[in-house]
Amino acid sequence: MNARQELLDQIRAIEFMTVDLNLYLDTHPCDMRALNEYNMYTQQLMALKSQYERQYGPLSNFGTAINQGRSWRWIEDPWPWEQDYWMEEC
């Protein structure tokens, strides 16, 4: 597994915590422990995403991430469903 994939897996794991806590908080909006956990994971996630985006281009578009570099990096392969690219890059 290459460094890019490893970082993306880390992002996925932390973001999964925020997704699951988000759904829990939707029906338990006053649970302070869950709120604190949500904020803690969100902070970690924001840091990891900006680290990823500096190296590999934006993870999201429409004004949610700065495009760093001299071309529009959003269109760069691979797209998430393209397993073959992940396998080739080592």
Partner 1 sequence: MWIYEKKLEYPVRIKNPNPKMAKYIITQYGGPDGELAASLRYLSQRYHMPIPEAKAALNDIGTEELAHFEMVGAMVYQLMKGASVEEIKEADAGGYFADHDSGVYPSTGTGVPFTAAYIQSKGDPIADLHENLAAEQKARATYENLIKLADDPDVIEPLRFLRAREIVHFQRFGEVLEKIEEYLNSKKYF
Interaction site with partner 1 (CB under 8 A): 8-9, 11-12, 15-16, 19-20, 22-24, 26-29, 58-62, 64, 74, 79-81, 83-84, 86-87
How many whole angstroms separate alpha carbon 24 and alpha carbon 19?
9
Distances (CA, A) of 3 to 24, 52, 63, 67: 32, 10, 26, 21
Shortest distance in whole angstroms from residue 70 CB to partner 1: 20
Shortest distance in whole angstroms from residue 23 CB to partner 1: 5
How many whole angstroms separate alpha carbon 79 and alpha carbon 7?
16
How many whole angstroms separate alpha carbon 44 and alpha carbon 10?
10
How many residues make up the chain in this entry?
Answer: 90
Closer residue to partner 1 in complex, CB, 29/70 = 29
Closer residue to partner 1 in complex, CB, 70/77 = 77
Closer residue to partner 1 in complex, CB, 7/40 = 7
